Amino acid sequence: MWTLLLLTFLTARAYTHLNFFITQEEVMKLLGINAELFYVQKGVVNTYALNFVVMIPAHISDIQFSWQSLTNHSLPYVLAVKYDDNGALLPPRMNISSTGLIPTSVQTFRVTLLCTGLKSAETEIFVQLNITLYDQQHNVTSLNFRRNKICLKGVGGTYKNDSIHLDPTSLENATGPMYVAVACAVAMISLIVIITSAVCIQNKKVRSQDVHYMTAIYDNNQHVFVRLGSALGRTSSVGSGSYATIASVQKSGSSPSPYATSDACQVSYYASSKVIPSPQAVRQDARKVDVSERLRALSVQRSTIALEEVTEEGTYSQILRGVFKTQKTVFIKTTKEAASKRQISLFLTEGTMMFGIEHKNILPVWGVNVDNPKQPLLVYPYVNRGNLKRFLIKCRHKEDDQYSLSTQSLVDISIQILLGVMYLHSQCICYKDLAVRNCVLDSNFQVKITDNSLSRDLFPNDYFCLGDNENVPVKWLPPESLLYKQYTGASDVWSFGVVIWELTTLAQQPYPEIDPFEMGSYLVNGYRLSQPVGCPDELFAVMAHCWLSNPNERPQLARLLLFLQEFYTALCRFI
């Protein structure tokens, strides 16, 4: 039996040259020779090397290849692995996507070959790399590498899925304050600005992916918000952990702005001192018993609401643009006739959860009408660019030339979302479903966090039912929430790290190849999302700290705000 990873690939715009080789360390490990082995050097293919079959001893389970695009743009690739299934070898796995872009800096990827332990045999491995060459002939170069893996009976292993593996011990036991390390990074950026006096920022495309997920059925999910402990006032910004200790995520030559344009360097700051509740306090949301009172307080007459155009539509729900009280353009959420009583009840409960909350980065609910119990209406302020996730996807696919985001814009959006979360936490509310799909954006790039009513219907691929009658955003949640249903301020911090990842990838799906049922053990074993293409190291360090296994080790929101504000200011100096 042959196993083939089916692939597609992206486009490039430049004439191509690349290096593809095995490092000196890898050659020594496999062949006992102290030298690098180039299969392609500056675009020239070494046919002799490609025809050479390399033996993989029984004690070696990983083979590594290094590559680098020598053009101004990364080259699109398609990578496939096939093998002779004789029962001695498990299906080979790679630690990179089977389709994507060859990096412009030297990087190494790995193919893992684990034996079953059922028999002794020599198994043929074929690694095929297709590279799209957009030169005058517009052709595709295909490179084939042959390996023979030795397997011994009784010696086997098991796989661990990985995007990137962070050492939980080194992260959780880090001793230097994160802010000190971050300050050094910011100072270094400033120093570079002073020395160079001018910086040319290279545009980089973010890899796009077409990912198909299992669609979860809608069910009676618990209310999204839970209460946190009482606000404790401002907390010290100094804590344990330094991103400098995350050896596996360090990169060289990071660019402060992988995206296109720059914006005015203006950030609004949150001045309230009532910001940080206890990150480990877990309480039920007392307001969920007051749904009827909220509905009465928000009740408006049907005659004050005029429905116009449908802007989004799901299986049982719709979002429309309309007019409220004859003068205000608004968003209107409603359900269809097909919606069940349980779905309608949850829709009204979640849709009114922002009642009584006033903050510039929170979208309030203005009114409710339940004259038609099967199709209740919720009225919200109109935000002209709409859902943030859909906006980011438009930016990724360049559906409109005006959608061009700079790194400053993305950091500013992160700051605004963080301010909204900080306000919710100051009100002792844990959001539980923080993601770009639950935010909206206006023409001035002002961001507001919304309630998550209808999110499961409009974004079904983001939610999964793990067999416990609860449809949850599995790939946005920390281990303690997945395994023990613990939701705290620290769990929102974890989700905020995923939000930054979504922003820097323009709304890619996190963990596309991981089974939802394996996410808990995957995270407990220390695996995390990898650094997005073009993402500055400093920003990825923030994500990595948000994803620390121990909730107590994750940064407080005030520390995150302080760093993001200073990083934003440093980025502005490059323009």
Q: What is the CA radius of gyration of the chain?
A: 26
As a whole number of angstroms, the distance between CA 275 and CA 418 comes to 11
**Complete DSSP assignment for 304-361:** GEEEEEEEEE-SSEEEEEEEETTTEEEEEEEE-TT--HHHHHHHHHHHTTTTT---TT
Neighbours of 467 (CB within 10 A): 7
Structural contact between residues 561 and 265, judged by C-beta atoms closer than 8 angstroms: no
- List the structure tokens of 180: 């000190």
Q: Strand, coil or helix: what is 475?
A: helix
Q: How many residues does the chain have?
A: 575
CB 152 within 8 A of CB 89: no
The torsion angles phi and psi of 553, rounded to 5 degrees, stand at: -85, -15
Nearest to 271 by CA among 175, 367, 359: 359
- Catalytic residue (choose from 162, 285, 412, 433): 433
User: What is the SS3 assignment for 196?
Assistant: helix
Measured in degrees and rounded to the nearest 5, phi and psi for residue 219 equal -145, -175
Residues 313, 326: Cα–Cα separation, whole Å: 24
CA distances to 175, 236, 474, 553 from 168, in Å: 14, 24, 20, 11
Measured distance CA(239)–CA(179) in Å, rounded: 8
Q: 523, 425, 427: which is closest to 478 by C-alpha?
A: 523
| Sole residue written with tokens 């300050």 | 183
502 token code pair: 């979504």
Cα torsion 60, 61, 65, 66 to 10°: value is: -80
Residue partners of 519: CB distance under 8 A and separation at least 6: 474, 475, 477, 482, 511
433: annotated active-site residue: yes
CA distances from 228 to 196, 231, 306, 430, 489 (A): 48, 8, 38, 6, 7
* Paired sense of beta strands 44-45 and 37-41, if any: antiparallel
The values of phi and psi at residue 436, to 5°, are: -65, -25
Buried b / exposed e along 409-442 (16+ C-beta atoms within 10 A): bbbbbbbbbbbbbbbbbbbbbbbbbbbbbbbbbe
Distance CA 190, CA 160 (A): 40
Q: Report the 10 Å Cβ neighbour count for 11.
A: 11
Measured in degrees and rounded to the nearest 5, phi and psi for residue 499 equal: -60, -45
Instruction: Please list the active-site residues.
Output: 433
